[in-house]
Structure 1
Amino acid sequence: MPQQQLSNQLAGQKKSHGVNYKRFRRWITQRSSSEGPVASTPVAPGGQCDPSFEFDTVCKRLELESPPRVHEQEHKVPQRNPPDASAVGDGSVAVVPLTTTNTTQHCARGWSDAEKSPEQQVTWVWGAAVQAQGNPQLAGSDGKRPDLQAFDILNNACTNVQGQSVMTLGAPSLLNDYYTNLLDCSCNGMIALALGSSVYLWNSETRSLVGHFEPSPDPGQLRSETLSISCLCWSRDGRALCIGNRRGEMQLWDVDHKHSMRNLRTHLSVVSALSWKQQLLSSGCALGHIHHLDPRAPTCVVGAAVQKGSICSLQWSPGDDRLASGSTGGLLHIWDNDITGIKRSRQPVMTMEQPSAVKALGWCPWQRHVIATGGGWKDGELRLWDTQSGSCLTSANTNSQICSLRWADKKRYLVTGHGLPHHQVTSWKWEFPSLRRIDQLTGHFQRVLHLAINPDNTHIFSAGADQCFHIWDL
């Protein structure tokens, strides 16, 4: 009888208040459940994390030498499509963070890769040099071959013809991304080139492949695209190479002993730029965060800053007294050398602006306060800035996208790599106040994404989206 009265009462409530009976019963069941109501805590994914969230964690790590490890339940966050950072008028696509799982766990546990769970560990292995013999010819007008191996000789010129490359080598799987920095030459003449998820070392003196290192294959699982290298940079002494990838991870590699020294995970998004200041390493990511790291310390983060817009270039000045950072929004920021500690109020000492992303960037070696920048395809302007006054000293219209930029200090030249329409490498002579074009080198079929110059300033090395690596006489 009481059960019948309860049913009648619920039915009456349903009619009087318009409440669905099934919904009402489900609500009663949830309230009476021992597990409590079902709820979810909003957690920002890696690519859309609020800047203050990461900085709060950095502050805690800096204040405590050995904080207790926090064990918490893993929250799986659905992947979302981050905002397109390429909509800045340079005609390129920027791949923004793919790491969207266990974000809070990474932040709470700290920055040491040793604290990561086993399934998140990335083991790198060294591979001996295997270079194909012969002189394979290019197949097709795009310069690509399906069986092309890294640093295969595609063309070896017998004589040096003005405006033509001395040698052309293969660079298969080179990522066609304007916002990557995948080529660098050490003070010892060792070329590091990232192809996909592997990094190849090539001796520019002997012109021979030394070897490569890459993530160890996971049995039964395809190599993830998130492991693709996004940037790399040699240390000042040429003994260590730092590599950043799309999952926000960085790895230091001891090239002399061919082993990994340390894994660093301080970013929640793509590591887009790296620069050394003696033994300290500065890194920038797609969320606009700049981290200053001391790889020798147990707690490696020693300072941090933040800027608006994704970072696509980062470089310390030759005197280590200024740091330049370029954003996808066209802002060039100049920071002082006070890098210790976390200061949310920290502001750059100078900011300049151009119409497109500040990707191509380089300090003048003999004029310590002068920096050069190149514009995207909607701009195409090569500019020299005075970082003390914030004024543009001189500029030259190249009528093409400027993808890369390097200074040759011994020749006192400036070298730029371009996209459409000619995909050329151009050398410039700066004699204040004029900026004069010296030579134009053609041979790439697609845009010249990366440039490097050997220590003697005798050769230019260029890597293009056509998956070719060229050597030019400077």
Structure 2
Amino acid sequence: MTKSWKVEMNLAEGPANDWGPIEAHRVSYKRFRRRIIRRSASGGPAASTPLAAGPPPATWRQRESSFQLHTVRQRLQLDSPPRIREPARDGRHRETANTPRSFPAGGRPAPENTPQQGWVWKAAFPEHEGAYQAGTDERRRALQPFALLDETKTRQQGKSVMKLAAPSLLNDYYTHLLDCSCEGVLALALGSSVYLWNSQTGALAGSLDPSPQPGLARHRAPSISCLSWSRDGGVLCIGTRQGEIQLWDVEHKRNMRCLPSHLSVVRGLSWNQHLLSSGSALGGIHHLDPRAPEPLVGAVVQAEEVCGLQWSPGGDRLASGSTGGLLCIWGGDMAGITWSRQPISTMRQPSAVKAMGWCPWQRGMIATGGGWNDGDLRVWDTDSGTCVTSANTNSQICSLRWAQKKKCLVTGHGLPDHQVSCWSCPVLPALGPVYRMSGHSQRVLHLAVNPEGSQIFSAGADQQFHIWDV
């Protein structure tokens, strides 16, 4: 009502040749609304705001006549940051980060002083509205990580057993924010903190808060971009959007060491016994031995940005995926810092290779998932460099995990259904869908499987964490 009064006064105070001699107190609401709609439909502005002479802008002609009057539409909130389609060097389109990076003339990325955050999870009610009191116990519980949102008493195939809260989960396709240790402890990064949840007891086991750089305010702590458990489950490695790599002793909640960092976002982490490999958005791959005084023991670079990184179960091969659709297979001997080393084989798909995973029971086989302009699930033979089988899912594949004891493959999807799919593949290249699990309202960004293979865990852009029975 306040906005309508201001517009009415502007009309009364505007020039006579714009709307004619109108007195504000004689204009009824129906006449006022009719004149606004008529002027909008004819290509002119709704109010008498001073405009440059000339034809009306195209934006006025394209705007809906009712939009200016609809206060509800003006209060709509975005679901997630917009995606940007950027042509790659080879002519393909790729999925880029929410905000394009800018590079100065020197060729190095500009320092990221402020973490690039996604939309923060919050209640749908304004703080001052009385319909939902801000101080209620229900709302306090809903804002806590891993707080129970819903639980299914009757087990149904395709339905989650439990739904928990995951507030402040970053909605970024290129992050890796969920991992399960060999002891069944889940690590989930929410904003600048990592929360630990015991899947066996169903209880929150604590949290880790990577401290900011010296002199940096706590509210500007680095946002986490990826994490990975060591194979013995005792150490958690954390990578940030500022290029930092930290090793944490989970049992004592202690930061053990900060390793040499990248110059850009850490996009992938993977362990090979005591060796840790990390990949960055600039294409650099570092190999680190945390036990050594000088931990950097090897480094290579791939032609495109790294968005996925994983060692094979035997530790003899390293797979790296890029935003441009390139899958590189590197040999196990990665000692020495050189930029001229080439992968032993390369394969390409039409979209980013972010969702990827080595088959645990069939050597040399690796599965990859296609992005939003692809949607194909592929299994590659890295010895021959060929795709041995594929299946079209008609949706973005955001995450991928193998369940070894069940001999199946699990994928998390985006539009249109935001489902979790389970694929049977006892002996490759045989690959067939088993069932789909629905419950997320936005894309399923991260997946994990417990050591027994009996449960699947998923975290989505809807700020929810689901538990599924296999």
Match of 2:383 among 369, 385, 388: 388
Counterpart residue identity of residue 93, structure 1: A
> What is the alpha-carbon root mean square deviation over aligned residues?
2.5
- Structure 2 Cα separation of the partners of residues 94 and 276 of structure 1: 28
Counterpart residue identity of residue 187, structure 2: A
Q: Give aligned pairs, total.
A: 351
**Any gaps of 5 or more consecutive residues in structure 1?**
1-83, 105-119, 121-138, 140-144
Match of 1:456 among 424, 448, 452: 452
Match of 1:174 among 169, 184, 209: 169
- Structure 1 Cα separation of the partners of residues 390 and 103 of structure 2: 40
Shift in Å, 1:362:
0.2
Shift in Å, 1:169:
0.3
1:154 aligns with 2:149: yes
Shift in Å, 1:89:
4.1
Q: Answer yes or no: is the 8 Å Cα contact 2:225–2:241 preserved in 1.
A: yes
Aligned-residue identity in percent? 63
1:316 aligns with 2:311: yes
Cα separation, partners in 2 of 1:89 and 1:446, compared to 1, 3 Å: farther
**TM-score, structure 1 normalization:** 0.70
Q: Answer yes or no: is the 8 Å Cα contact 2:95–2:352 preserved in 1.
A: no
- Structure 1 Cα separation of the partners of residues 231 and 434 of structure 2: 29
Aligned pairs for 1:252-291 within 5 A: 252-291=247-286
- Structure 2 Cα separation of the partners of residues 247 and 216 of structure 1: 13
Shift in Å, 1:344:
2.2
Spell out, residue by residue over 1:291-319, the C-alpha distance to the aligned partner (whole angstroms, 9 max, x if none): 00001111110000000111000000000
Q: Answer yes or no: is the 8 Å Cα contact 1:150–1:170 preserved in 2.
A: yes
Shift in Å, 1:92:
5.6
Shift in Å, 1:432:
3.6
Tell me, what secondary structure is at the counterpart of 1:434? coil
- Report what 1:131 is aligned to: none
- Report what 2:367 is aligned to: 372
Aligned pairs for 1:51-70 within 5 A: none
- Report what 1:331 is aligned to: 326
Aligned pairs for 1:177-196 within 5 A: 177-196=172-191
Q: Answer yes or no: is the 8 Å Cα contact 1:273–1:311 preserved in 2.
A: yes
Spell out, residue by residue over 1:111-133, the C-alpha distance to the aligned partner (whole angstroms, 9 max, x if none): xxxxxxxxx9xxxxxxxxxxxxx
Tell me, what secondary structure is at the counterpart of 1:457? coil
Shift in Å, 1:91:
5.0
- Report what 1:435 is aligned to: 431
- Structure 2 Cα separation of the partners of residues 269 and 236 of structure 1: 26
- Structure 2 Cα separation of the partners of residues 424 and 90 of structure 1: 22
Tell me, what secondary structure is at the counterpart of 1:223? helix
- Structure 2 Cα separation of the partners of residues 424 and 92 of structure 1: 23
Spell out, residue by residue over 1:115-162, the C-alpha distance to the aligned partner (whole angstroms, 9 max, x if none): xxxxx9xxxxxxxxxxxxxxxxxx9xxxxx795210000001111111
Counterpart residue identity of residue 436, structure 2: Q
Cα separation, partners in 2 of 1:220 and 1:238, compared to 1, 3 Å: closer
Shift in Å, 1:266:
2.5
- Report what 1:51 is aligned to: none
**TM-score, structure 2 normalization:** 0.71
Counterpart residue identity of residue 309, structure 2: L
- Report what 1:10 is aligned to: none
- Report what 2:50 is aligned to: none
Tell me, what secondary structure is at the counterpart of 1:299? coil
1:93 aligns with 2:97: yes
- Structure 1 Cα separation of the partners of residues 438 and 299 of structure 2: 41
- The higher relative CO (CA closer than 8 Å, separation ≥ 6) is in 1
- Report what 1:360 is aligned to: 355
Q: Answer yes or no: is the 8 Å Cα contact 1:92–1:177 preserved in 2.
A: no
Aligned pairs for 1:340-355 within 5 A: 340-355=335-350
Q: Answer yes or no: is the 8 Å Cα contact 1:410–1:456 preserved in 2.
A: yes
- Structure 2 Cα separation of the partners of residues 354 and 269 of structure 1: 25
Range with greater deviation from structure 2 (145-154 or 227-236)? 145-154
Counterpart residue identity of residue 162, structure 2: M
Q: Answer yes or no: is the 8 Å Cα contact 2:211–2:218 preserved in 1.
A: no
Spell out, residue by residue over 1:330-363, the C-alpha distance to the aligned partner (whole angstroms, 9 max, x if none): 0000000111001222000000000000000000
Aligned pairs for 1:27-176 within 5 A: 89=93, 91=95, 93=97, 148-176=143-171
Q: Answer yes or no: is the 8 Å Cα contact 1:328–1:359 preserved in 2.
A: yes
Tell me, what secondary structure is at the counterpart of 2:219? coil
Match of 2:201 among 195, 202, 206: 206
- Structure 2 Cα separation of the partners of residues 451 and 198 of structure 1: 19
Cα separation, partners in 2 of 1:220 and 1:301, compared to 1, 3 Å: closer
- Structure 2 Cα separation of the partners of residues 148 and 220 of structure 1: 26
Shift in Å, 1:435:
1.4
- Report what 1:246 is aligned to: 241
Counterpart residue identity of residue 372, structure 1: A
Tell me, what secondary structure is at the counterpart of 2:459? strand
Counterpart residue identity of residue 237, structure 2: C
Shift in Å, 1:93:
2.7
- Structure 2 Cα separation of the partners of residues 96 and 371 of structure 1: 30
Shift in Å, 1:434:
3.0
- Structure 1 Cα separation of the partners of residues 310 and 245 of structure 2: 17
Q: Answer yes or no: is the 8 Å Cα contact 1:90–1:401 preserved in 2.
A: no
- Report what 2:395 is aligned to: 400
Cα separation, partners in 2 of 1:304 and 1:246, compared to 1, 3 Å: same
- Structure 1 Cα separation of the partners of residues 216 and 340 of structure 2: 48
